[in-house]
Structure 1
Amino acid sequence: MIKLGTRKSPLALIQADLVKAQLLRANPSLDIEIVPILTSGDRDKISPLSEIGGKGVFIKTLETALLDNTIDIAIHSLKDVTSELEKGLELSSFLSPEAIEDCIVFNSKYKTNTLEELPINAKIGTGSLRRKVLISQTIPTAQFIEIRGNVETRLQKLESENIDAIVLSYCGLIRLGLQKKANLILDPEEFIPAPGQGVIALETRKNDKQNKKNALLINSSTQEKISRLELAFLSEIGLDCGYPLGLYTTFENKKFNCIIFLATEDGELQYEEEIKVDEKDAHNLLISKAIAYKSLLKNENPND
């Protein structure tokens, strides 16, 4: 019996079903059980993530379940994974996303598919620092409304709280069968997505050879190259939810193309850079870039 641990949100459960289905396609003889677990990040649906421990609040409970053998494989949205995993655990498999873009869902009172047609003081629902800064490039005077909870809850709040628009992961809408709700899909080369957005990652115990082998049955080698490079960058720069950060990476013909977006929390200073690099040189170059950006941010925040 393989026990797959997952958050209890509707999207997380759908992702668990996707993982289970792919594992069974790869090996129909597997016996698999999905184990839903309530994480600390799901218990507090009001506070901004940056105030309750960052994105790691969604994975730590699952990691505890892995370490005490309650589950065998933890299923994560990669963008929720902090750069430091619990000792004895590792990411063993990466599944390619159906989409990596952010998207906009407008309040039904609008018949538009552009941000420019919103009021200059539009109320935009998002708790993401990255999304706030990037939206402000188009609507500098936008008012941002902290909005958390599952996707369905956010869509309800869009109407019930008279918010003008909300920003969501397009991949999440696709998996929920709600892709038609997206009024505007944002170009990832301009509206840089979060590292790992849409990617499903499987975490296992380092000493559990059998379940590492099972997880690898559905691993995307290309996605693994992209994700491990992005994780190395994140590990070096040491960021979670503390600064607005976007990272859009593609891999083709043994070359990476990375677009990095980084800003101070208030958005006053913004850095954007596109890097094209051979696979063999990519890790060292991204690490050097992370060190350089970390130094820039430290100079802007000397008390940090």
Structure 2
Amino acid sequence: MTSKPPENNLPAGYVVPDVWTWDKGNGGQFATINRPISGPTHEKELPVGKHPLQLYSLGTPNGVKVTILLEEMLAAGHTGAEYDAWLINIGEGDQFGSGFVSVNPNSKIPALMDHQPKDGGAPLRVFESASILVYLAEKFGAFLPTELRARTETMNWLFWQMGSAPFLGGGFGHFYAYAPIHIKYAIDRYAMEVKRQLDVLDRHLADNRYLAGEAYTIADMAVWPWYGLLAMGEAYGDAGRFLEVQSYANVQRWTAEIGARPAVKRGRMVNRTSGTPESQLRERHDAADFETKTADKLAKG
């Protein structure tokens, strides 16, 4: 690659080697779970509950997408969407257990097993959050329009999120909140991109109630846990102030409307391990769990 003056690099004197080697001592909040190879690190079977749908996840934005959709399905009367949600603690390496890797070889949450797929065959695995959203929407015939133009617009924004959010999370969020040092170039680069994305959303939502138009769809459920939480100032510490999220009025309107939905509030609680104890439902196996098994209730015995 083109050489640059080593004294200007960070750290000063760093020269890019001809071949990359893994530095296990590289810091950062997630250094202990990141590695350059795939596959399981230990044997561990996944639990299976009483419902056909078994979700293995964590209350991160990607996990919340799916629990919001499942709670919206139940609220809409789709009783077959009842589910068990098992906590996968990525900080402890649960995603590298043999059972989880068999469901998602990429070792990322969320992952879903459908023990009663529509074809009547063997249990079916579904991984990648967008794939899970589409799978469930098609299984139950909800939140994904069938009309060509509305469906296409829904898919446009669903895949916009899949392509854009890595710049928000792995880019901006990592270098702003999680990296062991602050690197001005990296923060400036990704802050610029995230503000551009917020502007994309804001301009679109100026003329549309939801991302696909007047219909609330899986596109909104995919985008909201990333950009809605950022707009609410609930992502990456004080990143909301840094990015001036309040200036995106249409994003704020959309964020507030979706955040007020009861199913969204429930979906945010599932597999959550941070926030107030009453907001954390670490595992969910029944609708009644929201009233009886949040972290504060369990702590009281």
Normalising by structure 2, we get a TM-score of: 0.31
Q: Which has the higher helix share?
A: 2
Normalising by structure 1, we get a TM-score of: 0.31
Q: Which has the higher strand share?
A: 1
Larger Rg: 2
